[in-house]
Structure 1
Amino acid sequence: MRKWKKAGTIGLIAVMLCVSGAGCKKKATPERLFKDMAKNGETIESISGKMTANMEFAVEGQSVGMKMDFDLASVEKSEGFQMEGKLLMDIAGTEVSMDMSNYQVKEDDGLMSYTYVNNMWTKSPVESGEEETTLNAGMVEELTKQAKAFTLSEELVTVNGKECFELKGDIGGEFATDVLGEDMLDAFGMGGAVSEEELKELEIPCTITVYKKEILPASIFIDMKDVLMTAMEESGEMEIQELNLEMTFDEYNKVKEIKLPKEAKEEAIDADGSIDGLLGGEMGEDLEEDTEEEVEKEDTADVDETEKKGTVSWESLELNVSGKTVTLPCKVSELEAAGLKVDAEEVPADKMVKPGETEFPMLKDKNGNQVGVYCENTGDKDAKVSDCTLTGFYITSRDGEGIVDIALPGDVRLGMTEAELLEKYGEPREKSEDTKTGILTYSWDDELFTRSLGIEFDKDSKKIISIMIDIWDY
């Protein structure tokens, strides 16, 4: 499925936590829910739902309110998208209502966007990377990386008449920028007030609900009020009373086709823009970014196939732990035999784990260096942590602490350069980066991504600073 164009790289450690598929009777945790949503999202063919965005602010004592209320639908295979609703404005007590629609449909060899606003239909081609979608795997995957920031509410909530888990936390601004970035601010008439770079540095309150039965997103609510006020406090020109966005996902795999209204086809005139542009915002592609992507493709077009594949396979999951070979998945006791002991301060040595439950102990070597692991009792009786199945681990040197002696196949380890890694493992399935670090993600070549390897490197030194392995096909 499509990935978001600006996928972030916040919180590599969060993605180390693997979970089994939805439907197993296991204790719900934020990590498990996000992982299950990502897995179940691979089967999504279509979605219908709603989106609302609210903003209230005051400028020089004059109040302004804006609200967008839309019905949404999208079909994955055809890349069809439909949005219909209203824009409501209240300026100093004077209300204005505007009907708005947007359709994305395939025409000839590409996608065409049709927009209705100000009683007029316009159309424009959809550029690669700018496709509209109600929800995709990229959104859930990005949230998965920030799972540690969320807490699970004790009580279930109801969405669309169904029981749902509720998760609350502060998400990184880089994810929120993709949901409520410059384009949405343009739509509210605030383009340029806060840059996307500034948004990426912020932490934004977010509430997510998850359908208990399907383990798929029910709603996502993002509150931008406080962070936007902080970002704009120096200007003192505007007081924000409310700024939030909510997406509710009503039904999955029920919409079969997006049909373009007859009048849109007959009346639409060519236009350079979208809903945001027609509302006064400056829309357009980041040409420099697109150009860089094209150059990268050209640079790799003639790369030798051996270089792309690399000289060593990581998929055997044979680890060298202080000179001893351990193959994942394995029992925690196998790592203990290699000199890594369960840290009793994290998990008491005598603690028993119930069948199907998980633990997240830290293992220490003789020098006190640590590795974080994820293990599960896969048996049918209570078991000690040592007897649980280890299916994921995370090691890092980012904190300046000592490094556990663990090497992946091909002697890939912390401190190795990015170039050396690529020579051994070849090109990854995904690349992403922020201002300080980058992440290379490798996974088994299957549709379910049952095993994955994440490598985080420092952009300045070009050396590996974190390694994560995640397995859930055991």
Structure 2
Amino acid sequence: MVREWKSVWKRAGCLALLLLSMCVLTACKEKLTPHTLMESMSQNMSGITSFANKVKLDIELEDVLYTTSVSMDISLESTSDPKAGHALGRAHVKMRGAELESVLEVYQVMEGGRRATYSSLDNNWSKEVSEQTKGSVITIDDSLFAKMSDSVDDFHIAEGTVDVNGQECYQMYGEVTGENLQGLLGGQMLNAYGLVKLPDENAVSELVIPITFNIYKEKMLPARIVVDMSEAMNGLYDQFEKTTNVNSYSIKLDFDKYGEVEEIRVPEEVKAAAG
């Protein structure tokens, strides 16, 4: 009888040890929440020296007499030391029966402590210098996601993972203010780099906008950001008593090539052409 009880207790001890190990490996890990997910992205982004991403904008605005549509596909590269960015892509615009397709290119670098932006539309270059060094859409902002970590408590994490660029990703979705979105993407991107005239650009900061983050599971870095501003923009036009109907207003960014971008320099011929 004693031997039998010893055998039972031995098996029970092994079971308890197994359960304890499972707890350590699974249940006892820090629970994944929107806040911890955003913090992980923020911490990992702060150590990133460069990345590349692709931006796709699709906008359609319908008025009484005509429809305006803007589609853009842009490839961007960004480095943090030196702080610089390069964007190259195409814009297709349909307005009042006319169609226009143009090549866009932008270099953004620091010159004498100020931000210099070289912009080109169909190889017609111009230069703009600004004292402001934050809010650019093509250079790294170390606080890219840190500023949003306190505003994601109402976000949700999807039960399953998704595939982005052939890699497994978490998916997190919720709503952000226009102000947070401007800080994340930059105001230029929200108005399609000046191709869309909003009724009041300052009022955009007060909007509430749906956003979806896909995060690389292994790297804990952003893989994709999808923003659907259609409903929010409809409300903005209604607020200012405009007849414009916003059929679509979406932005998608795909991130890849972390730490692989070479130093970005403005070509001498671009500097000369910009004057």
Q: Give the TM-score, by structure 2 length.
A: 0.80
- The aligned counterpart of 1:259 is 265
Residue 259 (structure 1) shift:
2.8
**Shift of the alpha carbon at 1:134?**
4.3
Partner of 1:187: 194
Select the residue among 81, 87, 94 that pairs with 2:85.
Answer: 81
- Asked if 1 retains the 8 angstrom alpha-carbon contact of 2:135 and 2:187, the reply is no
Paired residue type of 2:262: K
1:203 Cα deviation after fit: 1.4
Distance 1:108 1:35, change over 3 A: closer
Match of 1:129 in 2: 133
- Is 130-139 or 46-55 further displaced after alignment? 130-139
Find the residue that maps to 1:260 and give its secondary structure.
coil
Structure 2 spans left out of the alignment, 5+ residues: 1-27
Counterparts in 2 of 1:212 and 1:69: CA distance versus 1, 3 Å: same
1:240 lines up with 2:246 in the alignment: yes
Superposition map of 1:390-409 within 5 A: none
For residue 224 of structure 1, what is the aligned residue in structure 2?
Answer: 229
Query: Given that residues 47 and 134 in structure 1 are in contact (C-alpha distance below 8 angstroms), is that contact kept between their aligned partners in structure 2?
Result: no
Task: Give the superposed CA RMSD.
Answer: 2.3
Q: 1:233 to 1:204 in 2, by over 3 A?
A: same
* Contact 1:149 1:171 (8 Å CA) reproduced: no
Residue by residue over 1:222-281, the C-alpha shift from the partner in whole angstroms, topping out at 9 and shown as x without a partner, is 111111111211424211101121222112111130132343133222xxxxxxxxxxxx
Shift of 1:73: 0.8
- Deviation readout 1:400-435 (Å, 9 max, x if unpaired): xxxxxxxxxxxxxxxxxxxxxxxxxxxxxxxxxxxx
Match of 1:392 in 2: none
Q: Is the helix fraction higher in 1 or 2?
A: 2
In the TM superposition, 1:72-151 aligns within 5 A as 72-91=76-95, 94-107=98-111, 110-130=114-134, 132=136, 133-151=138-156
The structural deviation recorded for 1:90 is 1.7
Pair 1:168–1:130, CA change in 2 (3 A): closer
CA distance in 1 between counterparts of 2:130 and 2:123 reads 22
Once the two structures are superposed, residues 10-59 of structure 1 have per-residue CA deviations (whole angstroms, 9 ceiling, x without a partner) of: xxxxxxxxxxxxxx964422122111111112211111111122210111
Sequence identity, in percent? 26
The range that moved more, 24-33 or 48-57, is 24-33
- Give the Cα–Cα distance (whole angstroms) in 2 for the partners of residues 78 and 163 of structure 1: 31
- Is 1:153 the counterpart of 2:158? The answer is yes
For the pair 1:42 / 2:46, whether they are aligned, the reply is yes
Measure how far apart 1:188 and its partner are.
2.8
Cα deviation for residue 80 of structure 1 reads 1.1
Q: Does the residue aligned with 1:138 lie in a helix, a strand or coil?
A: coil
Distance change (3 Å), C-alpha of 1:134 and 1:157: farther
The 3-state SS of whatever aligns with 1:137 is coil
Alignment of 1:24-423 (within 5 A): 26-91=30-95, 94-107=98-111, 110-130=114-134, 132=136, 133-178=138-183, 179=185, 181=187, 184-185=190-191, 187-191=194-198, 193-196=199-202, 198-234=203-239, 235-269=241-275
CA contact 2:126–2:274 (8 Å) conserved in 1: yes
Query: Structure 1's 128 and 236: CA in aligned 2 closer, same or farther, altered over 3 A?
Result: closer
Aligned residue pairs total: 244
Distance, in Å, in 2 between the alignment partners of 1:59 and 1:238 is: 5
Segment of structure 1 superposing worse, 182-191 or 42-51: 182-191
Residue 147 of structure 1 and its aligned partner are, at CA, apart by 1.7
The residue that corresponds to 1:330 in the other structure is none
Inter-CA distance 255–57: structure 2 relative to 1 (3 Å threshold): same
Deviations 1:133-156 (A, max 9, x none): 444332201221112121001111
- Give the Cα–Cα distance (whole angstroms) in 2 for the partners of residues 131 and 168 of structure 1: 23
Distance 1:224 1:256 in 2: 33
SS in 1 for 2:81: coil
Separation in structure 1 between the aligned mates of residue 161 and residue 97 of structure 2, nearest angstrom: 39
Distance (Å, rounded) in 2 between the aligned partners of 1:57 and 1:156: 34
Distance 2:214 2:189 in 1: 25
* 1:180–1:241 distance in 2 versus 1, CA, 3 Å: farther
Supply the distance in 1 between the matched residues of 2:144 and 2:119 (Cα, whole angstroms).
24
Cα distance in 2 for partners of 1:32, 1:125 equals 38
Separation (CA, whole Å) in 2 of partners of 1:159 and 1:130: 29
Partner SS state of residue 205, structure 1: strand
TM-score (norm: length of structure 1): 0.48
